[in-house]
Amino acid sequence: QVQLVESGGGVVQPGGSLRLSCAASGFIFSTYGLHWVRQAPGKGLEWVAFIRYDTSNKYYADSVKGRFTISRDNSKNTLYLQMNSLRTEDTAVYFCARDFGGFDIWGQGTMVTVSS
């Protein structure tokens, strides 16, 4: 069964850091690009970052550039999102999604709350 499972969300103060993980199963992880997408409470979807299957290219939304870092470990079938200098506006559910003709497989999401 093709599956993505996020973890690592929680409550953090403004200026703090958090690392999200996304564990994959049921497909050949090392052959797919992967995205992080977030959704603020009651709001729409916002693309955050993308990493190619071989890590040769990484792209970021302007809103997170310089603060977030996407990475992956193909030996562990895991995608990561290191989030630094967090702001209240980063509060959202964070989804990982596989890239195949769009965002074809999604995880269930992990909630990140940035609040003092």
Beta strands in the chain (DSSP E): 3-7, 10-12, 18-25, 33-39, 45-51, 58-60, 68-73, 78-83, 92-99, 103-106, 110-114
Residues that bind another protein (CB under 8 A): 35, 37, 44-47, 50, 57, 59-63, 95, 97, 100-109
Strands 10-12 and 18-25: unpaired
Which of 73/104 has CB closer to another protein?
Answer: 104
Which of 37/86 has CB closer to another protein?
Answer: 37
Nearest to 21, CA basis, from 96, 85, 90, 88: 96
Which of 16/59 has CB closer to another protein?
Answer: 59
Nearest distance in Å: CB 100, another protein: 8
Nearest distance in Å: CB 44, another protein: 4
Nearest distance in Å: CB 98, another protein: 9
